[in-house]
Amino acid sequence: MKTFLSPTIRRIRLFVGFCRHYIGSQACCALRHYRALAGRVPEERRWEFAAYRHLTEELRRQTDPQGSPFYFFHVYSEVVQMARQHGHEPRRVLELGPGASLGVLFCFVAAGVERAVGVDVEPVQHNPEFYSVLKDYLASVGGFRWWRLCAVDGRRPGVRYPGCWESADAQALLDRIEYRAPVYAHDLPFGDGEFDFIYSNAAMEHFDQPEKAVQEIRRVLAPGGITTHEIDLSHHQPGHPLQHLRWSRDEYQRLTQKYGGGHGIENILNGTWTDLPYCNRLLAGDWHRIFVEAGLEVLRLEVVSEVDPATINPSDLAEPYCRRSCEELAPLVIRIIARRTDAAE
């Protein structure tokens, strides 16, 4: 009995040992994979991430959210991603209503586009010092090709990369942006098909002639070009997000002031704007119709944020909104992506 069990026990022990070794090795692989996903980096490279974190914390302390490099690089990344998702690489870029900063256009210029133009209804004085901060942000954490200088300079003093970043000058990049104001979106001073990419961010809701503006977008957009717009449909003051739909047309006209004629973003920033900013109060479905009627192919219309339709009571709203469905009224912020598909006329 003893001679029979001993070999069996040995085999069992060998098998158990093998299982422990195999399972253990797999567990180690899984652990290594988890650590990699969790952001564990080799000791010799941790100084890079510490430097990036320090820069990020400094930028957060020095700038407000919408006046920071984070905001403008985020907007730039989003609009470029939307274009690339539809097989388009922007080269000749037009921004409608950049407002208080040309930060997004600066990112486009830094990325090497052929032309970058911004138009607005009122001129704004831009702070050159901000673009030096934005340039450093793009160099260190923005994902631009100049990361190499920041990644190795501290470890290898004396080594230079003039083709990567040292030759880039913030003011020179800023000077490449064509900024024109006053210019209205419904009367763009450009020839047919001058741009292959047109975008705006929280501007189109303020257009007082939205149908003509979208027709102009189509005209100056080259065949095959892409246009993307994030549109804020909500009430632009504290209160219920559909508050602006509770006033009749005449009441709303009396309460609001349109951009232009000496009224612009500067007045909002310095506190001299006393009325509500005018919005055209179009809904998501209205914008879809306007783009289609202008001859543009709507590639996608997505809802970024919305009110819970179950909480909306259309009877609380003025004409014609009281006759719209809760689902039509719910979207607060939308993105619309369209393409000009026709041949050149």
Q: What does the angle CA 93 – CA 173 – CA 159 come to, to the nearest 5 degrees?
A: 130
The answer to which of 63-77, 184-198, 318-332 has the lowest mean pLDDT is 63-77
Cβ atoms of 139 and 73 within 8 Å: the answer is no
Residue 95's Cβ-side half-sphere holds a number of Cα atoms within 13 Å equal to 29
Domain extent listing, the chain: 64-339
Query: What would the pLDDT profile of 11-69 be if each residue is shown by its tens digit?
Result: 445 444 544 444 444 444 444 443 343 444 455 555 555 555 666 666 566 555 556 78
SS3 content of the chain, % helix, strand, coil (to 5): 50, 15, 35
Query: What would the pLDDT profile of 111-153 be if each residue is shown by its tens digit?
Result: 889 999 999 998 887 788 888 888 878 877 676 765 555 555 4
Query: What would the pLDDT profile of 128-139 be if each residue is shown by its tens digit?
Result: 888 888 887 887
- In whole numbers, what is the pLDDT of the chain averaged over residues? 81
Distances (CA, A) of 156 to 31, 50, 138, 152, 165: 33, 17, 21, 6, 16
Element (H, E) at 199: strand 195-201
CA dist., res. 93 & res. 105, Å (int): 8
CA dist., res. 20 & res. 185, Å (int): 70
Both structure tokens of 250: 């005449």
Predicted TM-score of the model (pTM): 0.78
Q: Does the pLDDT at position 6 exceed 70?
A: no
Distances (CA, A) of 26 to 17, 18, 31, 36: 14, 12, 9, 15
Both structure tokens of 110: 């830094």
For residues 16-39, one letter each, b for 16 or more C-beta atoms within 10 angstroms of the residue's C-beta and e for the rest, the string is: eeeeeeeeeeeeeeeeeeeeeeee
Surface-to-core class of residue 48, CB atoms within 10 Å of its CB (0-12 exposed, 13-18 middle, 19+ buried): middle
Specify the pLDDT at position 208. Answer: 93
Query: What would the pLDDT profile of 270-320 be if each residue is shown by its tens digit?
Result: 667 777 889 999 999 999 999 999 999 999 999 999 999 999 999 999 999
DSSP state of 263: B
Q: What three-state secondary structure class fits 95? A: strand
CATH top class, domain 64-339: alpha beta
- Please report the DSSP string for 201-262 in residue order: ES-GGG-SSHHHHHHHHHHHEEEEEEEEEEEE-S-SSSS-TTGGGSS-HHHHHHHEE-SBTT
CA dist., res. 333 & res. 307, Å (int): 10
